[in-house]
Amino acid sequence: MGDPTAEITRIMVALDATPAVIESALQASCQLLVSHHPMIFKPQKSVSTATTPGKSIHAAIRGGLAVASMHTNYDIACGGLNDLLSERLGLKACAPLQVTATQELAKLVVFVPQEHLDRVRAALFSHAESLGSYRDCSFSAMGEGTFTPLDGARPFIGAVGTLEKVPEYRLEVLLDRAKLPQALKSLVSAHPYEEPAYDIYPLHNRGTENGLGRIGSLPEATTLADYTRQVAAQLGAPGTRFVGDPATRIQKVALCSGSGTSVMHSAVRAGAHVLVTGDVKYHQAREAEDLGIALIDAGHFHTEIIMAEAVAARLRRILPDSGFDGCQVMVCKVETDPFRYLH
């Protein structure tokens, strides 16, 4: 929400775009609030200050504050909220619990005269996929290319009407199919030929998987009671509850930030000993008992508020590289869990 042409110099990051958070962003002279939860969850028929989202929307527009909300994009993203939560809760070798999208890959093959090989390869590397922990992966082999320039051609090598034989490299790189248009643009501008010859092969190799929740393992097995204590301490969540025998052995852990009981069956299928999430309802707790999976409910707020510091740190890191020098990023300090606990 906001004016896409407005100048941004101060950004606030928060979990919720509540009226109190909007007020705090305006007090801090911010022009952009980056929130996890959006202001509008259900389609609205009116934007009235008699409703909570309406109050936020009116206050933000009045104060010239834009609001960008990430929500499930950030839940799912590689390096997003669930990866952050996995790291916080000590999980190793994490994978998505419910895959929502698999990256589609393609092989781009281009034929390049020898002296231009490095230049074309470098142009393609800025778009190419890494193989595990290896970037700048390519393959090239020498061969012979032939062509006869036709009338009207302006050949880089050879003359119109004469068959040319040229030593050329066959250069191959792996690409995300979504990045093909940009890669082809770079290829054409780096290649010396008027009409570079290239082929695009769709691949059946599986690309990176993105999805809801995460499944991973603890370095050492522990008990449900101990792990619940660790989760509560790591997230600073005073109201952490659990379902299951406190002595249950826990090593394989599934998690899903916020309201994540919808992934309970996936967690069971993946062999998880416990699902860490928030917003567990009574009948879901009963179902977990029946399915034989333990649950740890650390609360919606505490499994997600960790995003604020992390997103702010990431923005501070990437904004200068993206040409947004001098943008100040701050974390909202007024957010608290709406649930309180008696001690």
- Contacting residues toward Zn ion, per CB under 5 A: 258, 304
For Zn ion, the closer of residues 16 and 168 by Cβ is: 16
Which residue, 75 or 168, is less far from Zn ion as judged by CB? Answer: 75
Smallest distance, Zn ion to C-beta of residue 168, A: 54
Query: How many angstroms separate the CA atoms of 253 and 237, rounded?
Result: 18
Spatial contact of 31 and 9, defined as CB atoms under 8 Å apart:
yes
Smallest separation, CB 36 to Zn ion (Å): 6
User: What's the closest the beta carbon of residue 300 comes to Zn ion, in angstroms?
Assistant: 6
At a CB cut-off of 8 Å and minimum separation 6, what does 74 contact? Answer: 36, 80, 81, 307, 311
Helix H or strand E segment including 109:
strand 105-113
User: Cβ–Cβ contacts within 10 Å for residue 202, how many?
Assistant: 9
Count H helices, E strands: the chain? Answer: 11, 14
**Nearest CB to Zn ion, comparing residues 127 and 300:** 300
**Count of other CB atoms within 10 angstroms of residue 268:** 16
- The residue among 168 and 304 lying less far from Zn ion, judged by its C-beta, is 304
Closer residue to Zn ion, CB minimum distance, 77 or 318: 77
CA angle 7/11/13 to nearest 5° reads 150
Min separation Cβ 241 and Zn ion, Å:
18
**Shortest Cβ 211–Zn ion spacing (Å):** 16
CB of 64 vs Zn ion, minimal distance in Å? 27
Rounded to the nearest angstrom, the gap between the alpha carbon of residue 176 and the centroid of all alpha carbons in its chain is 15
Nearer to Zn ion, 33 or 123 (CB): 33
Two tokens, residue 275: 């699902």
Using Cβ positions, the residue closest to Zn ion within the complex turns out to be 258
Question: Smaller CB distance to Zn ion: residue 149 or 299?
Answer: 299
Beta carbon nearer to Zn ion, 190 or 312: 312
In whole angstroms, give the CA distance from residue 27 to residue 32. 12
CA–CA–CA angle 137, 216, 265 (5° rounding): 120
CB nearer to Zn ion: pick between 304 and 335: 304
N- to C-terminal Cα separation, the chain: 41
C-alpha span between 42 and 69 (Å, rounded): 14
Q: Strands of 198-202's sheet, edge to edge?
A: 139-147, 164-176, 105-113, 198-202
SS3 196: coil
Give min distance, CB of 16 to Zn ion, in A: 9
Buried b (16+ CB within 10 A) or exposed e, 288-325: beeeebbbbbbbbbbbbbbbbebbbebbeeebeeeeee
